[in-house]
Structure 1
Amino acid sequence: MYGRKNKYMRIKNYMYQVGLCLFISVLTNLSAQVQAQEVKGIVHELESSQRVKDVKVKNLRTKEETKTDSQGNFTIGGQLNDYLTFTQIGYNVDTAFIYAGGVQRIYLTRDNKSIIIDEVVVSRLTDSRLIAEIEQAQNQGKVTEASQTRGGLRLSPSRLFGKKGKQARKNLDLLLAEQNKRKVDRLFSDQTILSVVPLNDTELPLFREQFRPTLEFIQTASPEDVRIYILDSYSKFKSKK
């Protein structure tokens, strides 16, 4: 009788532990789902990096709106692949595409103010601002112009050899390189990599930088091609350690 009672207690304790684990798992999943329905970020001024308060933030999908606090922070309902617009007097209206988790850092540019393009600045631009800067650099870097007398186009020495034209073409190279990098990163994302191989928080950014595939590969690769590429790269990554 005593043995049967002990067996019953062991079964009861086991069921309790299983139930507790399931309860914790459910709470964890619910918490993750709640967090996934929010987008958090900080709005900065591009050149000074100062935080900008009272910026109106709008989710174009849900139409929800909020404003940044005194430290430039915002939280708004949203998820991956949403578009957020940022509006503030004195700054260009900007739109950000949310394609990665974590805190979003948004950098606004002043109205009608040209910016000095370098690798740091380019990495901070939103997609919409990046496209605008590419168009501007393409126009400024053109080496031909319309002929006023003969019609058609003619080569412009001032545009070809001028300082402004040269700088525009240099800027264009930086801008296009950043745009291509983002196209790759959206498919070669943290989520995609971690769904295939185990990497910790320190290893993940190193792995992405060392084994970021080319744009040509990403544009033609199937999901299975990407998975195999990640597995192969992971083997090389671990062999170097």
Structure 2
Amino acid sequence: MRKQIQHYALLFLLLLSGLGISRSANGQEIKGIVHELESSQRLRDVTVKNLRTNETTQTDTEGNFTVGGQINDLLTFTQPGYEIDTAFVYQEGIQRVYLIRDSKTITIDEVVISRLTDSRLAYEIEKAKTEGQVTEASQNRGGLRISLSRLFGRQSKMARNNLDLLLEEQHNRKVDRLFSAQAIRALVPLTDTEMALFREQFRPSLEFIETASPEDVRAYVLDSYSKFKSTK
């Protein structure tokens, strides 16, 4: 019996050590890794600052960092030659941040988009909106007129395609903050593999999440879980 208790205690400690947000002698800590976006190379000597506590630290030779903090904190990342970025900590786990070189044009695809922090994602959305505009104000007449070169230009088309991908990612993130694995596990028993499938198949719409009460979300999870189990 004693060996069994020791076994479970060891497993519990191992689970705690894998969390990006963990307990320490001084309180909670946020752990993460900083990469360069295009090469995925880990970056050393990046200054990480918690804007709530003003605590700062730097990444080590492997790009790892640990800073005091908790969920809902906002971190900034500064490194000469790279654009300053901010990351909102909204879930447990190792925080992965990808920095972009100054004045570097990035190629937008689903993999790249998934790596962007929320602040960078919002920036790229505004950039895509500007590049994809198809109307311009006339200096000679009031109102708006269609600019054919901007409407059918290659850059404009690419910007509008990028905008769709960027907005979809932003919407999914807003939904996933409430439709999180932690919130779902508090209501229904799912393995890690089942959780990934469940969240993908039954992710609610942004419109639902923005208007639903906690009771609505709870009912949605329970109803979706019944449907999920019935198909297995």
Which TM-score applies when normalising by structure 2?
Answer: 0.88
Task: Give a deviation string over 1:173-200, Cα, whole Å, max 9, x none.
Answer: 1111110000100111111101111112
Q: CA deviation at 1:151?
A: 4.4
Q: Percent identity?
A: 69
Matched position secondary structure for 1:47? coil
In structure 2, runs of 5+ residues without a counterpart are none
Counterpart-to-counterpart distance in 1, 2:126 and 2:55: 31
Structure 1 residue 65: deviation in Å? 0.6
Evaluate the alpha carbon distance shift between residue 33 and residue 70 of structure 1 in structure 2; reply closer, same or farther with a 3 A threshold: closer
Q: In structure 1, what is the equivalent of residue 141 of structure 2?
A: 150
Matches within 5 A, 1:86-235: 86-235=77-226
Show the counterpart of 1:72: 63
Give the Cα–Cα distance (whole angstroms) in 2 for the partners of residues 59 and 83 of structure 1: 6
Matching residue of 1:58: 49
Q: Secondary structure at the match of 1:154?
A: strand
SS of 1:173's partner is helix
- Considering fraction of residues, name the structure with more helix: 1
How many Å apart are 1:165 and its aligned residue?
Answer: 0.5
Q: Given the superposition, is the C-alpha separation of residues 57 and 194 from structure 1 closer, same or farther in structure 2, using an over 3 Å criterion?
A: same
SS at match of 1:219: helix
Runs of 4+, deviation exceeding 6 Å: none
How far apart are the structure 1 equivalents of 2:22 and 2:187?
Answer: 21
Residues 30-69 of structure 1: pairs in structure 2 closer than 5 A: 34=23, 37-69=28-60
In 2, the alpha carbon distance for the partners of 1:106 and 1:86 equals: 9
User: TM-score scaled by structure 1?
Assistant: 0.85
**Aligned partner of residue 87 in structure 2, secondary structure:** strand
**1:201 CA drift (Å):** 1.9
* One-letter amino acid of the counterpart of residue 237, structure 1: F
AA at the equivalent of 1:135: E
In 1, Cα distance between the equivalents of 2:142 and 2:149? 19
Unaligned segments of structure 1, at least 5 residues: 1-16
Q: Compute the displacement of 1:150 (Å).
A: 2.5
Structure whose alpha-carbon radius of gyration is higher: 1
| Distance across 1 between alignment mates of 2:147 and 2:41 | 41
User: Could you give the per-residue CA deviations for residues 202-231 of structure 1, whole angstroms, max 9, x where no partner exists?
Assistant: 221111111111111111111011111111
Q: How many residues align?
A: 217
Separation in 2, partners of 1:128, 1:206 = 28
Judge which range, 167-176 or 141-150, deviates more.
Answer: 141-150
